[in-house]
């Protein structure tokens, strides 16, 4: 769908730009050279979104495939994405909280968390990866979580959230393999941001060894993203660039 374009036409796209970490990504990226536009995407435009032609905001229902197809068409008109960050995720909401034991797991909690944490990023990959240039380096990365690592799970608990992030990791791995066949310079990765001072993490941050501000976390993750090479595609990395076990 996308044609390779001159560097000054490259755009960065942040899906979930209305959230704490998504917004921080936008703020960090707007200060980087080389992006013609930094495009925010979300279900609704924040009331305080800057009135800046370099920072357009596109509204889309991210679980609606027709809306995602229209989003892809709108992005293609803005430029060729050199970076797509999927900064969406759900840990808790009214009526839904992380489980301490398997007896607390419900079909509703599993369905809801899988929908947001696995289905939604998969659909975004489906519709937006065809926009990546075929013969240039480009990155599509999704926010995962270390608790989604099966190999690193020593405490149990948080069953639905862990499982949904583990599913996301598998989908990212599958997308990377598929992407390598058509866009060998493209990179698809999962990212662990650490504990960040956002509404998603704050209620459960007690006891965390360190808590980063959204801007701190975004800056660290972008350094990781910019260092990734094609051989890293399909990997899972934390905010320091260390590989996280699956």
**pTM across the whole model:** 0.92
The model's pLDDT over 44-62, given as tens digits with 9 standing for 90+, comes to: 999 999 999 999 999 999 9
| pLDDT above 90: percentage of residues in the chain | 86
The CA distance from 168 to 118, in Å, is: 5
The model's pLDDT over 22-42, given as tens digits with 9 standing for 90+, comes to: 999 999 999 999 999 999 999
The CA distance from 36 to 7, in Å, is: 8
Q: Which fold would CATH assign to domain 7-238?
A: Rossmann fold (3.40.50)
Burial 160-199 (b: 16+ CB within 10 A, else e): bbbbbbbbbbebbbebbeebbeebebbbbbbbbbbbbbbe
Determine the average pLDDT of the residues in 134-143.
Answer: 96
Provide the pLDDT for residue 198: 78
Provide the pLDDT for residue 93: 92
Domain ranges of the chain: 7-238
Determine the average pLDDT of the residues in 82-108.
Answer: 95
The model's pLDDT over 197-219, given as tens digits with 9 standing for 90+, comes to: 877 665 665 555 678 999 999 99
113 close to 90: Cβ distance less than 8 angstroms: yes
């Amino acid at each position: 769908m996308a044609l390779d374009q001159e560097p000054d036409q490259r755009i960065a796209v942040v899906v979930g730009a209305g959230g704490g970490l998504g917004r921080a990504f936008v703020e960090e990226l707007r200060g980087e050279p080389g992006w013609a536009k930094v495009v925010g995407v979300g279900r609704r435009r924040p009331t305080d979104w800057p009135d800046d032609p370099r920072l357009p905001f596109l509204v889309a229902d991210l679980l609606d495939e027709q809306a995602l197809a229209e989003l892809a068409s709108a992005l293609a008109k803005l430029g060729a994405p050199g970076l797509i960050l999927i900064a969406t995720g759900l840990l808790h909401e009214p009526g839904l909280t992380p489980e301490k034991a398997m007896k607390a797991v419900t079909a509703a909690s599993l369905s809801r968390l899988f929908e947001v944490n696995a289905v939604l990023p998969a659909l975004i990959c489906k519709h937006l990866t065809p926009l990546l240039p075929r013969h240039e380096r480009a990155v599509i990365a999704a926010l995962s979580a270390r608790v989604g690592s099966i190999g690193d799970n020593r405490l149990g608990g948080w069953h639905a959230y862990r499982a949904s992030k583990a599913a996301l990791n598998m989908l990212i791995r599958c997308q990377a393999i598929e992407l390598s066949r058509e866009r060998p310079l493209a990179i698809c990765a999962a990212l662990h941001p650490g504990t960040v001072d956002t509404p998603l993490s704050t209620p459960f941050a007690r006891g965390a060894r360190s808590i980063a501000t959204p801007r701190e976390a975004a800056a660290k993750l972008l350094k990781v993203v910019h260092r990734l090479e094609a051989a890293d595609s399909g990997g899972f990395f934390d905010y320091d660039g260390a590989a996280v076990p699956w």
